[in-house]
Amino acid sequence: METIKYIIKRLLLSLLILFGVSVIIYGLARMMPTDFVDQQFQGAISQGTMKQEDLDRIKELYGLNMPDAYLEFTPGDGSMYSGEKFTRNTKEVVFEEDVLLGGISYAEWYAGSYYGSGNHQIKFSEPNEVVILLDGGSEVKCTLNKSANRLAIGNNAGIQQGEYRPQNSGADTMLETTWTFDDGTTDYVLALSRGVAVYTSVNGVTGETSTPKEFPYTYRGVVELGEGVQRVVGEEGEGEDDGEITIVEDFEVKETGTYRLAFSDEWRKTDDNGHLVIDRNATRQLAVTMTMGSEFNVKTYSMNVKYRKANFWDKTGSVLKSYFNWLGNMLKGDLGTSFKYKRPVADVILDNMGISFAIAFIATVLQFLIAIPLGIKAAVNQYGFVDYTVTIFTMIGISLPTFFLGALFIRVFAVGLGWFEVGGLMSASLAGSGASWIVRLGDMLWHMIMPMAVLVILSIGGLMRYTRTNTLEALNADYVRTARAKGLSEKTVIYKHAFRNTLVPLVTLLAGTLPSLFGGAMITETVFAIPGIGKLAYDALVVADVPFIMGYNMFLAVMTVLGTLFSDLMYAVVDPRVKIGK
């Protein structure tokens, strides 16, 4: 019973440690600059395979952005979501330098998805109609064709019908620009700007321009309200960076209809010169006509729009919400989708962990088989030739950097002597040759010799010195002197009495072997171009693959905590004096 209680306590402590580690990992990820993420997907955005809105949403889902300002929509009475706030992040600079100055119309700014409580969403499409209000209350519906860059005006009494084209083909927006139509004798010009449509005609013979007519105008588009769950998925290409990352959404429409900026009496105000003045606050209000089930069941309600800057509590709430979303997904086994490898992070780790495990496991076994006997031999011959010789070589191994020793091995044994090939786990001559699995296995083991040698040389020094120190302490203990006094052979005294007590402190080293077994040797794998999890983690780190970095580090933290728990339990195995739970 005491043993079970102890294990439960250690498990709870391990969970607390992992929670603290997750906070640190997430905090460090939040402090990383996201410019790397923007640069990585810039090509996809410029090619049209990804929208900037999708990239912003991906960064928002992974908690990589800090809210700057918000757009909030609140449906009025008549909607099943009446009174609920739907929010989307925006930029203060976009509003002040683009929207207010006319570079982006309100309709284009509003287009996109907004998120309410739970999985509730509102989706506004970009407008497909310009609605002009003529004198007397009649409307002119102008259809936008963005693909053809045309504006089609039907038959009406106020404006020449026909297909208009932009006067400036390089205009930033189709929704607020000047459109022209030439019927062969007269040029008709329709200038749309900030809610005011100015209509003129120019006689092609005399060049006379008609008196400008001003009308208020608005836009109409499609709106959907419903429930949806978004997830980031990747699609692999021929190479690592050829794939794409997209947002896949399961969206169930509950309400659908059309929206437009609401007309208001404020729109008919004129200034001292008789020109129409548009109240910008009025143009931000939306009138939504919702069709529920059939054309005979139509609801019309308003939708309030609010723009506001993010305050301290908004930013704090965004960080906490993003953290707990990430933590909840991680507990479900979802570590996200790698930006670089275009696959789920968990799948990338599991698929590439085997190579790293094989190399690290063999190197660890060799490390213990070489270092422990050398440590015992050095302790038995303290200050002798063997002790100094072993110490010198092990200290050299400890002092050498991994990348330097790896490069030295490549230069001497691969380039100089030509004994080994560098890069990968298989010779180029065997690729696609149809060789048997035995030949392939032998070739793979041959490629592993150099990286395993580097790992062993760099690791035996510390373990050997640790074994030597513990053995010297055991050899000077009273029970060893008693064993010698009883006439036991020196071999029995060392390997039966002293060695087992030497193992007790060495068990603590087991805590560090588990993450190295499964987590890979990042520098060694990178130097020798071994496609293990360590090299993949390094490549992901270079390009700021935040989901992979966070998932990989959390994986290492779990392995470290499990290794520590395992080493605690192993104390009772190697030392009978230790009782678990006491």
Model confidence at 86, in pLDDT bands (50, 70, 90)? very high
CA 428-429-431 angle, to 5 degrees, is: 65
pLDDT value at position 122?
Answer: 92
Q: Are 531 and 355 in contact (CB under 8 A)?
A: yes
Structure-token match 């580690």, residue found: 21
**CA R_g for the chain:** 36
DSSP E strands, 118-193: 120-124, 129-133, 139-145, 150-153, 162-166, 178-182, 186-193
Model confidence at 84, in pLDDT bands (50, 70, 90)? very high
Write the burial class of residue 154 (CB in 10 Å: 0-12 exposed, 13-18 middle, 19+ buried): exposed
pLDDT value at position 283?
Answer: 46
Query: How confident is the model over 517-557, as pLDDT tens digits?
Result: 776 678 888 888 888 888 888 888 887 788 888 888 888 88
Per-residue pLDDT, averaged over 385-392, amounts to: 84
Model confidence at 282, in pLDDT bands (50, 70, 90)? very low
DSSP bridge pairs for 178: 191
Average pLDDT, the chain: 79
The answer, yes or no, to whether residue 101 has pLDDT greater than 80, is no
Residue 372, phi then psi, degrees to nearest 5: -65, -50
DSSP bridge pairs for 308: 70
Task: Determine the straight-line distance between the first and last CA of the chain, rounded to whole angstroms.
Answer: 12
Write out the H or E segment, with its range, that includes residue 371. helix 345-380
DSSP bridge pairs for 273: none
Q: Are 488 and 366 in contact (CB under 8 A)?
A: no
Looking at domain 352-545, does it have CATH number 1.10.287.3510?
no
The answer, yes or no, to whether residue 267 has pLDDT greater than 70, is no
Model confidence at 85, in pLDDT bands (50, 70, 90)? very high
The answer, yes or no, to whether residue 281 has pLDDT greater than 50, is no
pLDDT value at position 452?
Answer: 85
How are beta strands 196-203 and 286-291 bridged, if at all? Answer: unpaired
pLDDT value at position 121?
Answer: 92
Q: Where in the chain is the domain with CATH 1.10.3720.10?
A: 352-545
Higher per-residue pLDDT: 87 or 265: 87
Query: How confident is the model over 171-224, as pLDDT tens digits?
Result: 556 677 888 988 878 889 998 887 788 899 888 777 788 888 888 888 888 999
DSSP bridge pairs for 187: 182, 202
